[in-house]
Amino acid sequence: MKISKWFLLFFLAATVINYPNPFNAKGGGVTTIECTPDTSTSAYLYIYDMGARKILRKTFDLLANTANQTTWNGYSEYNEVVGNGVYLYQIVSTANQRVAKGKIWVINQ
């Protein structure tokens, strides 16, 4: 007798963009991260450097079918400006489901 086990996974589909990209954090610039999910959820925005070190965690409440926006000024959780380079971000719901991810390029002048 063959036993089959089925697992049901729920994925939150979302469209995400960030602009301007690249941006100048030292010059007072900010980047806007815009996410349009299919379902409403509470989430966190995580930003990491290329060494996979967490730079920032920020709450981000998402409403379904709405362009939800948050900004990042290029500073870490410790209020230090980040260096030049590429940073990775992901939006994770409070139910530990990844909603979206992307890259941000910081050019300080």
| pLDDT tens track for 65-106 | 999 999 999 999 999 999 999 999 999 998 878 788 999 999
Does residue 58 carry a pLDDT above 90?
Answer: yes
- Secondary structure (H, E, C), the chain: CCCCCCCCCCCCCEEEEEECCCECCCCCCCEEEEEEECCCEEEEEEEECCCCCEEEEEEEEECCCCCEEEEECCECCCCCECCCEEEEEEEEECCCCEEEEEEEEECCC
Tell me the pTM: 0.82
Class for the domain spanning 14-106? mainly beta
Instruction: Give the model confidence (pLDDT) of 30-53 as tens digits.
Output: 999 999 988 888 999 999 999 999
Confidence check: pLDDT of 11 > 50? no
